[in-house]
Amino acid sequence: MNRFSKLIALALSAVMLLLSGCTEDPVVRKQTNQVQITLSWWGNDSRNEYTIAAVQRFEKLHPEIKVKCSYSEWSGYEARSQVQMISGTEADVMQINVGWLAKYSPDGNGYYDLEKLADTVDLSNFSSEMLDYGRRNGVLNAIPIAMNAETVYINKSVYDSFGVSVPQTWDDLFRAADVFRKHGIFALAGASKSIWLYCIAYAEQQTGKTFFTDNGEINFSAGEFKVMIEFYDRLVKEKVIPKVEDFQRFNIDNGAYAGVVAWVSDALNYYKGVIEKGSEIIAAGYTADDPSKAGSGWYAKPATLYALSRNTEHPKEAAMLLDFMLNSTEWAELQGVEKGIPLSASVRKYLDETGKLSGLQYEASQVMENNKLIRPMNSVIEDSALYETFIDACDLVLFNKATADEAASQLCKTYAEKYKMRQDSAS
Amino acid sequence: MSGKKNSRASLRNISKAQVLMILGFGFIVVAAVILVSSLAIRKTDEVLKNKVISLTSSLNVQMKLNMDSYLSRMETIATLAFGESEAYTYDATDPNNDEYEAINTEKKISERLFSLCIMENFVDYGIVYRNNRTVGKISNGTSTLFGDKIFSELSSMISRPRTNDGWSTGYGNNFKRIYYVKKVHENAVLFISFYASELDAVFDNPETLSDMDIRLVNQDKNIIYSKNTEELGSPLPTEISSRIEGKISASVLDNEYLVSLDSCGGWFVVCSIPTPIILNEKNEMTTYIYFTAGVAAFLAVLVALLLSYRIISPIRKTVSSLDDKARIDLLTGILNKRSFEEYAGNCLANSLESERHALIILDIDNFKGVNDTLGHAYGDKVLEKTGEILRSTFSDDDYLGRIGGDEFCILVNTRFDSSDKFDAFLLEKCKELSSAYHEYYSGRDGDYKISASMGVALWPDNGRSFEEMYSACDSALYRSKKSGRDTFTFYDANTESEGTENE
């Protein structure tokens, strides 16, 4: 083989090698493998909007995690959560009500044990006393966000314009209604649950009995329920409040409601627009027979809690989101005091330093925190079936379908079918 | 000059042909590569653009289908409310309603609505009556936004007469909510609303098209949905809208933008992306093709060089050999008669009169006797030796030729600045030649004497052409022979008897 032939052979070999390198390999494109977790909450528009925005911040910080949101207003959320908890399709991270701990996790196994994720969730921002609100059977099922209580908000501008002083007592309230009535203004208004709790406060003060015994049984009997029903009947008939069925959100804005009973966490939800229009809104003291007894019959609770699903497939990522929601300044900046004054020490410090611990919601929190008579709430008291049944009973009286005695007696029997009642109360 | 000089000239011609061939081949290859590359790039460009526009169009259609499906699902959920008879028979504005019954009916309707939307992220889901009474889930935001105009404003959103419903957004310049409204009866409308951000899941484009902007716009081309929430309610950017002006369903690709549009109910799904981004790979591909073409052209030229060398090399050898055979006397290695006459004739024909040349004819004395006495083989050796003697005596500038059996001719071209020096040089060369023969002979058998006779003619005094010079030279040789051989004679036209010298 001469040199030329060798050269040709070499060139051909090179070409063959090149061609063998050009064989069609399968095209493989790697996709970012995102972990998807779900987050659910209840709330109003502002909460929905800032939560969605805050979730986007989290996703930006952690592009490997996708958060799917599920939200609703309270009543819809409660029903949705029940369906999800029972069917095992609950969200990885959940905003829960304190009452659900007893309902879904009686033995402490209904939610994820958050202390197993303490390396991701900074629990040191919370006092053990606060964390105890989220424990069931010694297991840390949830972490409270803030404390909450029903509060009396008064549109002082409206009250002042009619020369009516801010009501401190029940009598003040009825006197105010005497002035407002002829002008088509209600001295106070509220949604079903708020009015339910307002009536309980009245009844407890009038009867000296608490709604629950220390053992969690319903302590009220037909007599106390009659007091509540008659009180509601009087409130409506004397046009102190509108029927709960007639409660319309926009009447707060237009001044038709001169006051509202609502949660601390609802202060800005209800009054942000009104305040922006220049009206002065104040968090009044808890209504009582005597101002010195303000807070008696009123209850405080953790506003909401965050829990993780016991079935979550991504506890690490869920915990990252949980910590972001509880302790990060990024989240706190958007949330502010919308859910009440946060219990997280680091968030509270951040809000204080940035001047965000102010305004109506903060004032309402201060009223709650400074009150010595307000007591921790038994979460069962918020059960929707409990207060809806009460409103039904009130309507029977209101529309002359039954007497107060009959309605109270019937209410007592209905409760006895579903709830634990003190033995002599059910009769 | 020797025969090599002419051989080189011939080979130079072959080399020129080789260079021309390589250049021509190179030009053809480069031109072909440029042509093929251009066609490949053009075709690739065309195919790529078609594929991209097709994929974008498909994406747009997929987004439209997603949106259609989502809206359809919302409408279905809303319509399911009609499964509860009270929902469409109850009229909250009827003054004859029993208030207690009305409250209970509204509770029933509310429960029905709650059960229907329990798993949906609705902001609102309820029925609004002409007296602005609401049943179901009505958010604070909606209550605040519409106030006591809620019924009339929602009613005005009904745009489809056949189904008595409609989609709307942007009420109060709020594009964060999207409303679906359906007439229940003359005094009631059912409506649902959800945040525009819910459409993130509908318009979740693939990771590979993450640079693609997906927007939902209304008839006025105002943005209803965009991942960039800051542009909600704003008009579609001019660079996008100008490309889809007057179109309902189309995909447009130019050098700046790729825009795809599809109608979705009364709205439009618009996908857009700057062309340089979507066709980024095209530039890489173009570079790759050019690089490959360059390498291919280089390799082709390299192969051409190799092949031409392989082809030309034997030709050069053959031509050189043939050329030598044609020009050279094989025995002596100097020009043969025809070549010598041609070269010498051309040389003299192109010479000026101011130049100096000399023609020398050398004839071996009594060469027949050499052959007869020493044999033809020895005679050939003498001829061969004569070639050597001539080559060693004269330079490459001089032409050496064998013009007869034992007759040789030299055209002396060596330059001198004066005739005297040239004459002296010629005289010296003639003596050297004579001596060379004597020395050659003296080393041999000693029984036979070899010598040469020479005639010399000078340019231009003795002739102005080769023929004239040869004739003069021949006369001079004759005189040398006549005068007893083994001598040389310079031609003298006047005397023809002078200038003869013996060694």
What integer is the mean pLDDT of B12-18?
77
Count Cβ atoms below 10 Å from residue A46 Cβ, excluding itself.
Answer: 17
What integer is the mean pLDDT of A120-130?
94
* CATH tag, B84-198: 3.30.450
Which pLDDT belongs to residue A167?
Answer: 96
Which pLDDT belongs to residue B443?
Answer: 44
Task: Identify the H or E element spanning B326.
Answer: helix B280-327
Which pLDDT belongs to residue B503?
Answer: 36
Find, among B170, B237, B234, B203, the residue nearest to B70 by Cα: B203
| Contacts with A2 (C-beta within 8 Å, 6 or more apart), sequence order | none
CA dist B392 → B3, B432, B484 (Å): 14, 10, 26
Residue ranges of the domains in chain B?
A: 84-198, 337-502
Name the minimum distance, in Å, from the CA of A107 to any CA of chain B: 28
Can you tell me whether residue B189 is helix, strand or coil?
strand
What integer is the mean pLDDT of A114-119?
96
Domains located in chain A, CATH noted: 35-146+303-327 (3.40.190.10), 148-300+374-418 (3.40.190.10)
Residues from chain B that touch A248, judged by Cβ atoms under 8 A, are: 132, 134, 143
Find, among B341, B354, B356, the residue nearest to B400 by Cα: B341
Option in A7, A273, A399 nearest B144 (CB): A273
- Name the CA dihedral angle for B28, B31, B35, B41, rounded to a multiple of 10 degrees: 130
The bridge status of strand A139-140 relative to strand A135-136 is antiparallel
Length of chain A: 427
What integer is the mean pLDDT of B240-266?
89
Q: B84-198 and B337-502: same fold?
A: no
- Do residues B84 and B115 make contact, with C-beta atoms less than 8 angstroms apart? no
Residues from chain A that touch B197, judged by Cβ atoms under 8 A, are: 52
Which pLDDT belongs to residue A15?
Answer: 59
pLDDT value at B282 more than 60: yes
Residues from chain A that touch B136, judged by Cβ atoms under 8 A, are: none
End-to-end CA distance of chain B: 27
Whether the ipTM is more than 0.90: the answer is no
- Gyration radius (Cα) of chain A, Å: 29
Q: Taking CB atoms and an 8 Å limit, are A250 and B147 in contact across chains?
A: yes
pLDDT value at A6 more than 70: no
Give per-residue pLDDT as tens, A231-288.
999 999 999 999 999 998 889 988 999 999 999 988 988 898 899 999 999 999 999 9
Closest residue on chain B to A79 (Cα) = B118
What integer is the mean pLDDT of A279-304?
94
What integer is the mean pLDDT of B135-159?
89
pLDDT value at A8 more than 80: no
Residues from chain B that touch A48, judged by Cβ atoms under 8 A, are: 123, 195
Confidence class for position B498, pLDDT limits 50, 70, 90: very low
| Contacts with A226 (C-beta within 8 Å, 6 or more apart), sequence order | A404, A405, A407, A408
Is residue A79 less than 8 Å (CB to CB) from chain B?
yes
- Please list the helix, strand and coil fractions of chain A in percent, rounded to the nearest 5, in that order: 50, 15, 35
| Tokens describing residue A272 | 């942000």
CA pseudo-torsion sign A104, A110, A115, A120: negative
Q: Taking CB atoms and an 8 Å limit, are B140 and A75 in contact across chains?
A: no
Type of residue at B74: M
Find, among A169, A427, A125, A424, the residue nearest to A285 by Cα: A169
pLDDT value at A325 more than 90: yes
Q: Taking CB atoms and an 8 Å limit, are A45 and B197 in contact across chains?
A: no
- Do residues B237 and B226 make contact, with C-beta atoms less than 8 angstroms apart? no
How far is the C-alpha of B150 from the C-alpha of B161, rounded, in Å?
A: 20
**pLDDT above 90: percentage of residues in chain A:** 71
> How does DSSP assign A362-386, residue by residue?
HHHHHHHHH-SS-EEPPGGGG-HHH
SS (H, E, C) A28-49: CCCCCCCEEEEEEEECCHHHHH
Which pLDDT belongs to residue A113?
Answer: 97
Which pLDDT belongs to residue B15?
Answer: 76
pLDDT value at A378 more than 60: yes
Confidence class for position B7, pLDDT limits 50, 70, 90: low
Which pLDDT belongs to residue B2?
Answer: 46
Top CATH class of B337-502 equals alpha beta
Q: Taking CB atoms and an 8 Å limit, are A76 and B117 in contact across chains?
A: yes
pLDDT value at B141 more than 90: no
How far is the C-alpha of B263 from the C-alpha of B277, rounded, in Å?
A: 25
Which pLDDT belongs to residue B502?
Answer: 40
pLDDT value at A76 more than 80: no
pLDDT value at B417 more than 90: no
* Whole-structure pTM value: 0.68
- Name the CA dihedral angle for A199, A205, A208, A214, rounded to a multiple of 10 degrees: 60
Is residue B196 less than 8 Å (CB to CB) from chain A?
no
Is residue A72 less than 8 Å (CB to CB) from chain B?
yes
Average pLDDT, rounded, for chain A:
90
Is residue B139 less than 8 Å (CB to CB) from chain A?
yes
Which pLDDT belongs to residue B499?
Answer: 44
Which pLDDT belongs to residue A247?
Answer: 92
